[in-house]
């Protein structure tokens, strides 16, 4: 299940409880509806008994929202129905999407991920770098890119590096910036986002956890508003990367769960480019470790770095970073115990790495890897 959707569900349930305690039933109604939305997204992302439990919980939240509506209505403006409201009030004006600051990093600043960087250069950067040649061969500039892989493999990080490489205007969007509880508002948010991006000569729209906006419409219990959301996003994606357009728009969706995305998005003209951000190989793991300690002005032997990297098989990028941070924490603890004041250069020993390796294990789910591999096989992705 997506940790983002779960965290948002818990956050809104907590805010709803606080609003109820303060007898602010209108605010409690709002947060309960939001909690229900994220609960249904969680149901869509799971299966079996877990999905059934989320569905039951979501329906219970909707019932609670209806009761809160009844409590709130006498003291203020009538509230919309919990399951199909129309926008009301200034809070429901479509968002104004602003680009993030242009990153000052480049692909060369990313440790490892050589296969991902090469794919970006070949499939994304070169058509933009050589527009006349791309036009001659009928190669599109821009378009849709699906960046997929297990959690913690640096998908968001490398997209920022790509934006810096291209000196592009980049919109970094969370699914929660788009999804609302109001019928029709999600579609308006999507339209506003694409309209704003199209005003730029060259823009990148990056949406993390894109599967939350592209749920499989073949799944049971798909809510009507979710179906409309999928249709709206499909319409925005169709034809936005015209070969002779004056401006260029690159749409990148990152996901840990490509198998949960509606198959319509995988057809030609939408996500034409699919790039896997897989687990780091031995050399990438060694580079991540080396970079971590180099930033602390510490040079470790290549022998030690390779030995540790070899023992991090099936670790994702975040796991390797956590291991290095654990080593630093161990060294810090020992320096404090030894009464050091920071004037000496830090020392990191093989023993410290051994201790850290006992604490930090791979967080990668074998189930996730299997589902991604099956999805690749089903849609015919052939790896080099």
Distance CA 80, CA 183 (A): 10
How much is the average pLDDT of 328-336?
Answer: 93
My answer on whether 180 and 274 are in the same domain is: yes
pLDDT, average across residues 246-259: 85
Same domain as 298, residue 200: no
SS (H, E, C) the chain: CCHHHHHHHHHHHHHHHHHHHCCCHHHHHHHHHHHHHHHHHHHHHCCHHHHHHHHHHHHHHHHHHHHHHHHHHHHCCCCCCCCCECCCCHHHCCCCCCCCCCCCCCHHHCCCCHHHHHHHHHHHHHHHHCHHHHHHCCCCCCEEEEEECCCCCCHHHHHHHHHHHHCCEEEEECHHHHCCCECCHHHHHHHHHHHHHHCCCEEEEEEECHHHCCECCCCCCCCHHHHHHHHHHHHHHCCCCCCCCCCEEEEEEEECCHHHECHHHHCCCCCCEEEECCCCCHHHHHHHHHHHHHCCCCCCCHHHHHHHHHCCCCCCHHHHHHHHHHHHHHHHHHHHHCCCCCCCCCCCCHHHHHHHHHHCCCCCCHHHHHHHHHHHHHHCCCCC
Q: Are residues 324 and 275 in the same domain?
A: no
Please count the structural domains in the chain.
3
How sure is the predictor about 89, in pLDDT bands with cuts at 50, 70 and 90?
very low
> Can you tell me the mean pLDDT for 241-248?
55
Please give the backbone phi and psi of residue 327, each rounded to the nearest 5 degrees, phi first.
Answer: -60, -45
* 245 and 132 housed in the same domain: yes
Q: Which pLDDT band, with edges at 50, 70 and 90, does 359 fall under? A: very high
- 10 Å Cβ neighbour count for 94? 15
The last residue of a domain, from among 254, 279, 304: 279
Report the alpha-carbon distance of residue 368 to residue 123 in Å, rounded.
Answer: 26
Is 87 among the domain residues?
no
User: pLDDT of 203-214, one tens digit each?
Assistant: 888 988 888 877
- Claim to verify: residue 113 and residue 244 sit in the same structural domain: yes
6 pLDDT tier (thresholds 50, 70, 90): confident
More confident position, 140 or 242: 140
pLDDT number for residue 247: 66
Find the mean pLDDT for residues 268-273: 82
Q: Are residues 178 and 244 in the same domain?
A: yes
Instruction: Give residue-wise pLDDT tens across range 123-178.
Output: 889 988 888 898 898 887 778 899 999 988 989 889 889 988 888 788 888 777 77
CB 88 within 8 A of CB 80: yes
Same domain, 273 and 348: no
pTM of the model: 0.69
Sign of the alpha-carbon dihedral angle for 14, 20, 23, 25 = positive
Same-domain pairing of 212 and 292: no
State how far the alpha carbon of 199 is from the alpha carbons of 69, 204, 271, 333, in Å: 40, 12, 22, 53
Q: Is residue 373 part of a domain?
A: no
Indicate if the pLDDT at residue 364 is higher than 50.
yes
User: Which of 189, 313, 214, 297 has its CA nearest to residue 2?
Assistant: 214
CATH number, residue 216: 3.40.50.300
Of residues 136 and 9, more confidently modeled: 136
Residue 92 resides in a domain: no
User: Do 30 and 166 have their domain in common?
Assistant: no
Least confident range from 29-38, 130-139, 272-281: namely 29-38
Q: Tell me how far apart the alpha carbons of residues 312 and 132 are, in angstroms, rounded to a whole number.
A: 45
Nearest to 163 by CA among 172, 175, 176: 172
pLDDT tops 50 at residue 91:
no
Judge whether 100 lies within some domain: no
pLDDT over 50 (residue 81): no
SS in 3 state form for 35-102? HHHHHHHHHHHCCHHHHHHHHHHHHHHHHHHHHHHHHHHHHCCCCCCCCCECCCCHHHCCCCCCCCCC
Pair 120, 164: CB distance under 8 Å: no
Q: Looking at the structure, tell me whether residues 339 and 273 fall in a common domain.
A: no
CATH number at residue 67: 1.20.58
Q: Which region among 149-153, 187-191, 271-275 has the lowest average model confidence (pLDDT)? A: 187-191
For residue 47, name the pLDDT band (cuts at 50, 70, 90): low
In degrees and rounded to multiples of 5, residue 238 shows phi and psi of -65, 115
- If pLDDT is split at 50, 70 and 90, which confidence band does 85 have? very low
Q: What is the mean pLDDT of the chain?
A: 80
pLDDT at 4: 64
Per-residue pLDDT band for 75 (boundaries 50, 70, 90) equals: very low
pLDDT at residue 95 greater than cutoff 70? no
Do 237 and 113 belong to one domain?
yes
Q: What is the pLDDT of residue 325?
A: 94
Q: What is the pLDDT of residue 227?
A: 63
Q: How confident is the model at residue 219 (pLDDT cuts 50, 70, 90)?
A: low
Structural domain contains residue 120: yes
Q: What angle do CA 292, 297, 302 make, to 5 degrees?
A: 65
Asked if residue 384 is part of any domain, the answer here is no
Check residues 190 and 95 and name the one with the higher pLDDT: 190
Among 81, 115, 133, where does a domain finish? 81
Size (the chain), residues: 384
The answer to whether position 209 is within a domain reads: yes
User: Which whole number is the average pLDDT over 321-333?
Assistant: 94
Q: Report the C-alpha gap between 168 and 330 in whole angstroms.
A: 41
**Range 293-321 average pLDDT:** 93
Domain limits for position 68: 3-81
Give the best-scoring range by mean pLDDT among 180-189, 191-200, 346-355.
346-355
Other Cβ atoms closer than 10 A to 363: 14
The pLDDT > 70 percentage for the chain reads 83
Query: Confidence band (pLDDT; 50, 70, 90) for 240?
Result: low
- Indicate the pLDDT class of residue 82, thresholds 50, 70 and 90: very low
Q: Give the residue from 229, 256, 279 where a domain finishes.
A: 279
Residue 123 covered by a domain: yes
Q: 47 and 122: one domain?
A: no
User: CATH number, domain at 307?
Assistant: 1.10.8.60
């Amino acid at each position: 299940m997506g940790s983002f959707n779960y965290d948002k569900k818990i956050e809104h349930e907590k805010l709803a409880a606080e609003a109820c305690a303060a007898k602010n039933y209108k605010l409690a109604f709002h947060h309960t509806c939001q909690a229900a939305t994220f609960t249904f997204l969680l149901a869509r992302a799971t299966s079996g008994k877990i999905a059934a439990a989320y569905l039951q919980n979501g329906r219970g939240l909707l019932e609670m929202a209806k009761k809160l509506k009844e409590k709130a209505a006498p003291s203020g403006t009538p509230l919309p129905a919990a399951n199909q409201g129309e926008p009301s009030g200034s809070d429901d004006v479509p968002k104004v999407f602003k680009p993030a600051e242009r990153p000052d990093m480049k692909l060369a600043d990313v440790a490892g991920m050589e296969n991902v960087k090469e794919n970006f250069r070949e499939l994304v950067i070169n058509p933009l770098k050589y527009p006349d040649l791309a036009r001659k061969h009928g190669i599109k500039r821009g378009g849709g890119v699906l960046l997929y892989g297990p959690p913690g493999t640096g998908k968001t990080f490398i997209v920022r590096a790509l934006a810096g490489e291209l000196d592009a205007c980049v919109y970094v969007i969370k699914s929660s910036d788009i999804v609302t509880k109001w019928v029709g508002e999600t579609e308006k948010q999507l339209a506003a986002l694409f309209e704003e991006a199209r005003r730029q000569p060259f823009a990148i729209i990056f949406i993390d956890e894109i599967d939350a906006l592209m749920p499989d419409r073949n799944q049971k219990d798909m809510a009507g508003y979710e179906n409309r959301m999928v249709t709206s996003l499909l319409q925005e994606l169709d034809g936005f990367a015209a070969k002779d357009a004056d401006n260029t728009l690159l749409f990148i969706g990152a996901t840990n769960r490509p198998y949960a995305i509606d198959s319509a998005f995988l057809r030609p003209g939408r996500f034409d480019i699919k790039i896997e951000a897989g687990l780091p190989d031995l050399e990438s793991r060694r580079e991540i470790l080396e970079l971590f300690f180099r930033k602390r002005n510490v040079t470790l032997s290549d022998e030690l770095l390779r030995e540790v990297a070899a023992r991090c098989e099936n670790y994702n990028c975040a796991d390797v970073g956590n291991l290095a941070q654990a080593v630093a924490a161990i060294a810090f603890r020992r320096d404090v115990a030894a009464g050091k004041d920071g004037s000496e250069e830090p020392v990191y020993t093989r023993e410290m790495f051994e201790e850290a390796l006992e604490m930090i294990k791979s967080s990668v789910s074998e189930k996730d890897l299997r589902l991604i591999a099956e999805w690749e096989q089903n849609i015919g992705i052939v790896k080099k």
